[in-house]
Amino acid sequence: MPLIQDRLRFKQLLKNLMREAIGDTTMASIVDRMSEYEAAKADYDRWDDEQVKYERAAAFARQRGVDPNNASAMLKLRRQFPEYDYDPKILKKEKQVKDRLAIVRRAARPEYNVDIGNLPFDSPDDAEEEEPESGVRARLPEPGKRVYLSPDKMQPLRFYPWADFERVGLPPLGGFDDMAGGAHPGEERLAKILGAEVQGDSVSFDLVDQKGMKWEVKGLQRPASLIRPGVEGIAAAKPATDKMMKVVTEIEAFVSRIEEGSPSQVCDSIEQMRRFVALRKFVDREKKEIERKEISAGRFEAIALALENVSALRKAWDYETRKTLKGTIGAGEKNLEVSRFKLVKMLRTLSEEDPDALELLSTYEPRELALAELDTKEAYDNPWDWMNAWDASIDVEKIFNVDGLLIVTPEGFTMVPRQMMRSVLELRRLSQDAPRYAFVPSGAKKAGR
């Protein structure tokens, strides 16, 4: 059947199907509801942009010893450093924009509306239950507490043996079992040496020194051991983990649609078949471990190669042309134009209960069904650029949101200031949403530190 006839038949059948499934009244309101959603989403995005700016400014303020909760001090900092400016008036609308967006999202019937998008919350109740970051303030050391080594006189990456401080009467080192609760190994020792205060479990940092600088203590029993962040660091990495899981799920669905249509018929060259077989092996070998959220450095490379294979098939199957084809659904004077790929997703949802939708879905060729599964466009446009951007999104300075790290071994300790974290901490794996880093002091030399 010629393409134009197919599109006309598709349009008419889909109109009938949608009217049957949800009725004329509901269909006529979809466009209005989508408009409400887009307006609410725009307000939320404006707030979100300012929130990102505020968090950056707050981190900068802490580095300079400024309390981010002090409005007048933050105003002075913003005037002095315009690159850290943000709009407090927009930030005050947080609950308002979240509640509005949650309400219109529910009203927009996302089960029929594939363009509705994914939001970080589902209902106003959920938004109200979100608690702000803990307001617990850092406990400063008692005035006059003895300091045997001042943090501001410590040399970055220099190794300080415990033996150099035996004369001061050091407390026990503690164990290196990172699954055990309580203080980290060396935490009490460092508190005594630096004249710092141990903070406990109520905050995300371990020690605060005499000048209010915050430190996280990490134990390395062996040079090959990996450093794991705390709860706040894991939360900072979770969006990146979720993004990776979404892409892997899309690749699996892409492979499944090709198999449903018979690979020998869908792939029309040896090169295409070779890439499909590689993707099939990727799904068989890697997906289970990735679903368990165990992603090693080698698995990062496997994911990048899988993206390359999808990208090549996507190009060979004329994705760029296909994505421009449109279909229109509507009732009366209300119309909503969406791409055929979006309509495929809509039909797949409806086909679970309606045989007409299933029959209409069967009129698509397997390639189009497979390509419709690929939502994360940027990952397949430039796979390695996407992987590099993904890696950069797990920003070690956000994972360890402190002034510096104190790396403890059975023999002594080393200080890593915040500005050197990116050059000496190397991401080696993700385990249960938690990034694991290798401590690589030689990275500072490569970075010219």
pLDDT of residue 308: 95
Q: Looking at the structure, do residues 222 and 246 belong to the same domain, yes or no?
A: no
Within a domain: residue 142?
no
Q: Looking at the structure, do residues 277 and 250 belong to the same domain, yes or no?
A: yes
Within a domain: residue 2?
no
Q: Looking at the structure, do residues 244 and 363 belong to the same domain, yes or no?
A: yes
Q: Looking at the structure, do residues 392 and 283 belong to the same domain, yes or no?
A: yes
- d(CA 416, CA 220) in angstroms, rounded, equals 14
pLDDT of residue 117: 38
- d(CA 278, CA 440) in angstroms, rounded, equals 34
Q: Looking at the structure, do residues 320 and 441 belong to the same domain, yes or no?
A: no
pLDDT of residue 5: 42
pLDDT of residue 23: 46
Q: Looking at the structure, do residues 206 and 239 belong to the same domain, yes or no?
A: no
Closest to 281 measured CA to CA, from 306, 262, 299: 306
pLDDT of residue 320: 72
Residue matched to tokens 């707050």: 58
- What phi and psi, each to the nearest 5 degrees, are found at residue 413? -150, 160
pLDDT of residue 349: 75
Q: Looking at the structure, do residues 193 and 251 belong to the same domain, yes or no?
A: no
Q: Looking at the structure, do residues 176 and 52 belong to the same domain, yes or no?
A: no
User: Is residue 185 packed enough to be buried (19+ CB in 10 Å), middle (13-18) or exposed (0-12)?
Assistant: buried
Domain with 428 in it: what CATH number?
3.40.210
Q: Looking at the structure, do residues 307 and 353 belong to the same domain, yes or no?
A: yes
Within a domain: residue 157?
yes
Strands 404-408, 412-417: pairing is antiparallel
Task: With beta carbons less than 8 A apart as the criterion, state whether 280 and 255 touch.
Answer: yes
Within a domain: residue 144?
no
- The alpha carbon of 336 is separated from its chain's Cα centroid by a whole number of angstroms, namely 31
Show Cβ contacts of residue 76 under 8 Å, excluding neighbours closer than 6 positions: none
Within a domain: residue 211?
yes
Residue range(s) defining the domain that contains residue 421: 151-229+400-446
Q: Looking at the structure, do residues 244 and 215 belong to the same domain, yes or no?
A: no
pLDDT of residue 12: 52
pLDDT of residue 416: 95
List per-residue pLDDT tens for the chain, 449 residues long.
Answer: 334 344 444 445 555 555 444 444 444 445 455 567 677 778 888 888 888 888 888 888 887 888 888 888 888 888 888 888 898 888 888 888 787 777 766 555 444 333 333 333 333 333 333 333 444 567 889 888 999 999 989 999 999 999 999 999 999 988 775 433 345 789 999 999 999 999 877 778 899 999 999 999 999 988 888 998 887 788 888 888 888 889 999 999 999 999 998 999 899 899 999 999 999 999 988 877 777 778 887 888 899 999 999 999 999 888 777 766 665 555 455 566 667 777 787 777 777 777 777 777 787 888 988 998 998 989 999 999 999 898 888 888 888 989 999 999 999 999 999 999 999 999 888 887 788 999 998 865 454 55
Q: Looking at the structure, do residues 385 and 366 belong to the same domain, yes or no?
A: yes
Task: With beta carbons less than 8 A apart as the criterion, state whether 386 and 378 touch.
Answer: yes
Task: With beta carbons less than 8 A apart as the criterion, state whether 40 and 72 touch.
Answer: no
Q: Specify the pTM.
A: 0.58
pLDDT of residue 120: 36
Q: Looking at the structure, do residues 336 and 246 belong to the same domain, yes or no?
A: yes
Within a domain: residue 312?
yes
Within a domain: residue 182?
yes
Within a domain: residue 143?
no
Choose the final residue of a domain: 77, 101, 132: 132
Q: How many domains does the chain have?
A: 3
